Each structure stands twice: as C-alpha cells, then as structure tokens.
Amino acid sequence: MEFERPGIIRPPSEQASYFLPLTSGCSNNTCTFCGYYGSKLRMREVDDVRKEIDAMALYMHHGVQLPTVPNIVYAVLQSWDGRRVFLQDGDALVYPFPKLNEVMEYLNEKFPDLERIGSYATPQDILRKGLDELRTLRELKLGIVYVGVESGDDEVLYKVGKGVNHDQLVEAGTKTKQAGITLSVTVILGLGGVDGSQEHALETARVLTEIDPEYAGALTLTLVPGTPLYEEWRQGDFSLITAFDSLKELKTMVENSDFADCFFSSMHASNYYSVRGRLPQEKSRMVRELEEVLARQDPELLRPEFLRGL
C-alpha cells in the first residue's frame, strides 16, 4: 500500500523546520483523549524517504523542481533555511533504528550544515531503543525529542491508556537525557477529571521533578469528538474541571516541581491562561501571577472558550 503523507502536526518550536514524514499515525494509538486514537501506524519505505531527501537537495542546491514530487515538498522548502528537520508523524522515533540511522546519515550527507533534527516520541519508543542507539542518533543530530508525559499519576495514566506508568516515564526521560538529547515534555491539565484533580497535579509535579526536562509545557484537556474520553464525558462518566481549577492544577505543578533548569510554559492555545518562565529561577513570580488570577476569579482574565485550540 502506498504511503500516504500525513497532515502537518508539529510543536510550535518546529515552525521553521522541514517536515519529513517517516511514519503516519501513532504506534501507541490507545490514548483515550487523543485524535490519534485508533490511528493506523504506517511506515514509509526508506527508498521513498531517500528520494524525498534527493528532491530536497536538488531544489535547495540547484533550484530544480521535479514534476513527480508532491507540491507540499516545495511549498515547505520555499521558506526553509536548511537548518532544522522535523520527522513526522505522531511518533517517528518508532521507525526501526537501522532505517532511522540510514535516513539520518543521508540527511547529514546531503545537508552538512543541518543543525538539528527533531521528532515526537512515545516513552515506549525511547525505552525500546538502546542507549547506544540513542547516542548514535544524537551524533547524527537528533537534537530534541518531544514526549507526551500527560500525567505522573499511575491511575490516570492507566485510565487514559497511555501504556506506561510513572516509573517508565522517568526511565524514558532519563535515558533521553543520558544520550545527550534535549527533552521537551507536555502534561495535560484536567486529565484526572474532577475527582482525580489534586492527585494528578501533585503526581505530575513529581514526575516532572524526576524527569527534570529542559522544556515542559502544560496543555489543557480539550475533548475530541469521537475519542473514548469524549464518550465517557457525554455519558457522565468523566467530569471536566473548570477553567479556574485548571489554573489551580497549573499552580500546584509549578509550585511542587523542582527542576535543575527548565523552561516551563502554558502558552499553548488550549490553556485558559498563559504563564511562562525559567524554573526554578522564576518560580515565585509565576506562582504569584497564578495566585492573583485565582484570587480575582475574573473570567475576563481567561482565554475565551472560542479562542482555545487543540
């Protein structure tokens, strides 16, 4: 079956990157809150990826476009500065190591000035790879991986089908850092629902402390129609926390986490309020800011529902 190019879903920090698809879908398609739930993982043939890299090089070095190459390739290349590549899709790091090695070697060969390759990864993808393999990928410029941690609470992780527990999240994070790869993680406010809110926030602060990533981002749960969690909510089996309660969770996470040096942000469009800063250096300022918003309880201070995005 021919590989179908996935739509572009990427972290905000990869906006200037070239998007190179290696897979489509996600290998851990069981997360009940995620749009990738039930998606079929497809792997692209290495030869096909190499052809795309050839086309990239031909265009970037000689301005030549080939009629057989999809337009999207040239649309992205037009504004590409040749520095960063983001591997698609939901967890491109599931691509088997020998193939990943080959693709990344080829990218480096064709673009020697490449600065960084980035990818989404599930904790399982990282645990499956050897430390020596991750180090090899680092040498081939895999500079950053983006991992959805979602929660540090085992009960929440189990309920939402994350497929890993707290300790495995820590193991995957630690391994990534040992390989010298920068780690950017996301957690989801509200994922424990009303009943599990406090435990979710505290355990998430604990898992963040133990992983100690360079970047951490908070998102706010947004129910996606068609996912199992959306159905649970519709049937009254899952209750969404309020906007202000999501800020309480955020404050608990900022207050109780202990990082060596982490850029923490809730700038994502799904959040009701944006706060960001370096932790631990700016912890007091960030906590104070959240306390003020919580004390005022003024909905005008929050991002309106219609402006929230996934």
* Contact set with ligand SF4 (CB under 6 A): 26, 28-29, 31, 34, 36-37, 90, 122, 148
Query: What residue spans of 63-130 are helical by DSSP H?
Result: 71-77, 97-110, 123-128
Q: Cβ 162 to ligand SF4, closest distance in Å?
A: 7
How far apart, in whole angstroms, are the C-alpha atoms of residue 300 and residue 178? 44
Nearer Cβ to ligand SF4 (36/272): 36
- Which residues partner with 182 through β-bridges? 144
How far apart, in whole angstroms, are the C-alpha atoms of residue 111 and residue 83? 8
- Which residues partner with 150 through β-bridges? 187
Q: Cβ 102 to ligand SF4, closest distance in Å?
A: 24
Query: What are the angstrom distances between the C-alpha of 216 and each of 146, 163, 173, 280, 285?
Result: 10, 21, 12, 12, 17
Nearer Cβ to ligand SF4 (30/108): 30
Q: Which two tokens stand for residue 12?
A: 């905000």
Q: Cβ 108 to ligand SF4, closest distance in Å?
A: 27
Q: Which residues have C-beta within 8 Å of that of residue 282, sequence separation ≥ 6? A: none
Residue 167 preceded by cis peptide, ω within 30: no
Q: Cβ 222 to ligand SF4, closest distance in Å?
A: 13
Q: Cβ 107 to ligand SF4, closest distance in Å?
A: 23
> 3-state class of 153 per DSSP?
coil
Nearer Cβ to ligand SF4 (73/216): 216
Q: Cβ 169 to ligand SF4, closest distance in Å?
A: 12
- Which residues partner with 62 through β-bridges? none
Nearer Cβ to ligand SF4 (123/196): 123
Nearer Cβ to ligand SF4 (26/85): 26
Nearer Cβ to ligand SF4 (59/120): 120
How far apart, in whole angstroms, are the C-alpha atoms of residue 292 and residue 285? 11
Give long-range contacts, CB 8 A cutoff, 24+ apart: 284-289. 286/254, 287/251, 287/254, 287/255
Q: Cβ 39 to ligand SF4, closest distance in Å?
A: 7
Nearer Cβ to ligand SF4 (90/118): 90
How far apart, in whole angstroms, are the C-alpha atoms of residue 61 and residue 59? 6
Q: Cβ 9 to ligand SF4, closest distance in Å?
A: 9
- Which amino acid is located at 14 in the chain? E
Place of tokens 């990218």: 107
Nearer Cβ to ligand SF4 (120/264): 120
- Which amino acid is located at 137 in the chain? L
